[in-house]
Amino acid sequence: MFLALILLPFCTAHAGRRSDISPTLPGSARINDVPPELGPQPPCGNEPTPPYPRLDDPAIVKSWSEAGFGRDWRPPACTGWAAEGFTTLVTTAARFRNASDAEGLLRRVGAVSELKGMRYWSTTHKRWRTLVVDAYALDTSQAGQRRKDFTPEEMKEGKVLYFEQVDNLSGKAAYRMHIAAVSADRLVIDIENVSTMRYFLVPILHAGEMQSICFLDRESEGVWRYYSIVRTGKNANRLIAGNQSSAVNRAVAFYRHVVGIPTDREPPAAP
């Protein structure tokens, strides 16, 4: 799942950096520079920015800088996000092979419990670490009401679901999952936190300040496109700003999880 956990404490690969990783490793990713003037543009009737890579090339992951277009960036209307600006902003664009139909991908997204044990490359510790300590679906937005994973039958267009996730650094938080679009060729799912997220008891993100949206589009038989945006709001605690390398690695971990690639496959996107 492409969840809202692009958090702390991130390293220092600034948005101007470019790091291309071998295209023979489709589970990898490359950090890429794109024109910054308009900011990220999801696939809402036009080709996205950053663009999709070629099939079997690594995912393109970009951490955006305020210097490019300012903290008052206005999200594209199709995201459904009303608030302007950001503290951290990361996009992932990829093409991947998958024999599953839309229902199979929806089942993958709904299997919240399978996030437990997900790994990512820690730029601080220079090794693979567990990113998600625990994860489970909830009956309501209230913590503690655990239930089984969501089924595709439950994940109808317009449906709102809740889950809880325990991050290795920010601890436990509850999230709202909105199924924005479901068809045979397209899935759009957005997620935001509904509880305050803390780092060593210090509030870093209040409700609604961590948002992600993912677009999964069928390109052809057995080939899908993946595009995600993850942001923290511009009023987020500045403790989480300025550490883009770890943000990139966490985004890649969720991309890999969705498309079925081992999350700790070498090499990391941002070593």
What SS3 string covers 116-173?
A: CCCEEEECCCCEEEECEEEEEEECCCCCCCEECCCCCCCCCCCCEEEEEEEECCCEEE
**What is the distance between the alpha carbons of residues 111 and 122, in angstroms, rounded to a whole number?**
25
pLDDT of residue 6: 43
In the prediction, which pLDDT does 239 show? 66
Nearest to 59 by CA among 124, 138, 2, 135: 2
Percent pLDDT > 70 in the chain is: 82
Does the structure show a pLDDT above 60 at 10? no
Alpha carbon of residue 137 to chain centroid: 18
Q: What angle do CA 217, 258, 90 make, to 5 degrees?
A: 80
Residue 223 has pLDDT above 70, yes or no: yes
Confidence check: pLDDT of 15 > 60: no
Which helix (H) or strand (E) segment holds residue 204: the answer is strand 202-205
- Residues 104-119, mean pLDDT to the nearest whole number: 96
Tell me phi and psi for residue 10, to 5 degrees: -85, 160
φ/ψ region of 97 (left if φ > 0, alpha if ψ in -120 to 50, else beta) reads: beta
Give the per-residue pLDDT at 19.
30
* pLDDT digits 0-9 by tens, 173-221: 899 999 999 999 999 999 998 987 777 677 777 788 889 999 999 999 9
Of 105 and 203, the structure prediction assigns the larger pLDDT to 105
| 242 close to 15: Cβ distance less than 8 angstroms | no
CB 155 within 8 A of CB 182: yes
The residue length of the chain stands at 271
Asked whether residue 32 carries a pLDDT value surpassing 60, the answer given is no
Give the pLDDT band of residue 65 (cuts 50, 70, 90).
confident
Decide if pLDDT at 253 tops 70: yes
2 token code pair: 């492409």
* pLDDT (0 to 100) of residue 250: 87
DSSP state of 194: -
Handedness of CA 14, 11, 205, 117 (dihedral sign): positive
Tell me which range, 1-5, 124-128, 187-191, is most confidently predicted by mean pLDDT: 187-191
Quote the pLDDT of residue 72: 80
Query: In this model, does residue 105 exceed pLDDT 60?
Result: yes
Second-level CATH architecture of 29-259: 2-Layer Sandwich (3.30)
Q: What is the pLDDT of residue 192?
A: 95
Q: How far is CA 161 from CA 18, 103, 136, in A?
A: 37, 17, 12
* 13 band by pLDDT with thresholds 50, 70 and 90: very low
Identify which of 158, 151, 120 has the alpha carbon closest to the alpha carbon of residue 137: 151
